[in-house]
Amino acid sequence: MNQQLPQVPTKLLIDGKWLEGTKESVSVTNPATNEELVKVSQGGIDETKQAIDAAAKAFTDWSKRSPRERADLMNKIADLMEQESDRLAKIMSMEQGKPLKEAEAEIQSNVDNFRWNAAEAQRVYGEVIPAPEHNHWLVRKEAIGVVGAITPWNFPSNMIARKIAPAMAVGCTLVMKPSKETPLSALALGELFQQAGLPDGVVNIVLGDSSEIGKELTENEQVKKITFTGSTKVGMKLYEQAAPTLKKVSLELGGHAPFLVFADADLDLAAEKLVAAKFRNNGQVCTSPNRIFVEESVKDAFTKKLLAKMETVTVGNGLDNPTVGPLINQAGVEKVIEQLEDAVNKGAEVLCGGTKLTEGEYEKGNFFAPTVIDGITPDMTIYYEETFGPVIPLISFTDRQAVIAAANDTEFGLASYFFSTNLQTISDVAQNLQYGMVGVNDIAISNPAAPFGGVKHSGFGRENGKYGPEEYVTVKFIAIDAQ
C-alpha cells in the first residue's frame, strides 16, 4: 500500500477554528519505521482555558436543542465516518501501528457508537412520581455541562467516539485531550465534525503536555465532568485533582485479565479465541488476556493446539495487514523484554517467540515476536503486572475454587474470560470472578449495547449501552403545587 500519510489537520480545534498552539510543535512517528509522519501544534494552559470557555459558551445552545436535532447531527457524523473509513483507518494504522483491518473495524465501531447513542438521545427518560392531590412530582435528567475527556493511544479513534457520542447525545459539550502518541486520529474526527455542521465549541481538541492540560481540566470550575481512559496511576492523580471542585468522574483504567481453560472446555475454541484476543492490537489492550490458567489434565493438549495456532500469526507494518503490527514505542518493547527476562531467570520456558525482531523490514520499527511462555509462577513480574505486549503466559491449575481465587488475586478488575461446557462451572465461575466484564466461551465483551467498565483499581463508571449517557447527566427533582 502507498505509505503516504493522508491529509489531516495538525492544529488545535478551538471554537470551530484551527489554531496554532503557543508551544513548540512535536513529531508524530510511525512505530513501524520510527520515521516522522508530520509535526503537530502544541498548546498549554491558555489554549485549554480558551477551549473550556468555548465549550461553556456552546453548552447554552447545544443542551437546549431537541434530542432529535442532536441525533440527526450525530447520524450525519456517522455517515461521514463510514464514507471516510479508508482514510481514517490509514491515518490510524500509520500513527499507531495496528493492522489496517483492525483500524477499519475501529472506525466501524465509531459509526456504531454514534448511531447507538443518537438513538439513546431520545431515550434519556425522566420520571413522574405519584404525588398528593394538586401536586406534581417530576424527575428530569439534564446534561451535566462541559466535559473534559482524556483518551489513550491504543484505540485513538474509538476511545474518543465512546466518550463524545453519549456526551453529545444528552447535550454536553467537550474539551478533548488525545494522546501525544496518536493525535492525528482525533484531529481527523474533528474535521468530520465540522463537515457535518456541528456547532462551534461543541467539541474542542487541545494538544500538549498531558499533565498540564489534565490539571487545568480537572481544576477548572467550568468543567463539570472528567472522563479518562488510561493507566491507574494517572487516573488516581486526575481523581485527586478533580476532588476540590467535586466533579463527576469516570475512570476506565488498567486491567490484568485472567483467561481460564477448564478440562471440559472446547480446547480448539479456547486456543482460537485466546490467539484472537491476545494479539488484537498486539496485546496493547486493557482487556487483553494476561494470565492464562489451564487445567493441568488438559494443559499439554491445549498447549499443542495453541502452538499450532501461533504458526498462523504474522508480524509486519500495519498497512500490510499482518496479524500484529509494531508496539507503540521502544519503551513498550523494553517492558516486554524485562518481563520475559525476569520470568526465564526464575524458571519459565519460552515455547515460541521471545525476541525483538530487528532484521529486514523490522530493522527500524518496534517489533516483537509473538510469544508463548510456560511455567509462570506468582513471584514473576509477568504474573502480577500488565504486559501490554504480544505474550501468552501459561499457568497450571488443578482446583476450581483455587483458580478463581488466583484469578481474583489482583488489584485490577476490568475483564475476565473462561472456557467450559459444564453449566455448574459456568454459573459458579461467572458469579465469583471479581470483574466488571466476564466472557464465557467468548472474547467479545465490548459493543455499543452493553456496559463497559471495571471494578477495583480498574476504575468506575460505565461506557456504552443505556449506561453510557447516564454518566453525563444530573438528576433534578421538580415539585409543583398546583393549587
Catalytic residue numbers, as ranges: 252, 286
Rounded CA-CA distance 216/204 in Å is 14
d(CA 395, CA 340): 15
Contact (CB, 8 A) for 436 and 413: yes
Measure the CA–CA gap between 10 and 27, rounded to whole angstroms. 10
Cβ atoms of 90 and 6 closer than 8 Å: yes
Alpha helix ranges (H) inside 243-397: 267-279, 299-310, 330-345, 381-384
Task: Provide the grid cell at 79.
Answer: 455517515
CB atoms within 10 A of CB 232: 18
Residues 468, 172 contacting (CB under 8 angstroms): no
Q: Which of 233, 207, 228 is nearest to 218 (CA)?
A: 228
| Residue 295 main-chain phi, psi, to 5 deg | -60, 135
- Spell 266-295 as b/e; 16+ CB within 10 A means b: ebeebbbbbbebbbbbbbbbbbbbbbbbbb
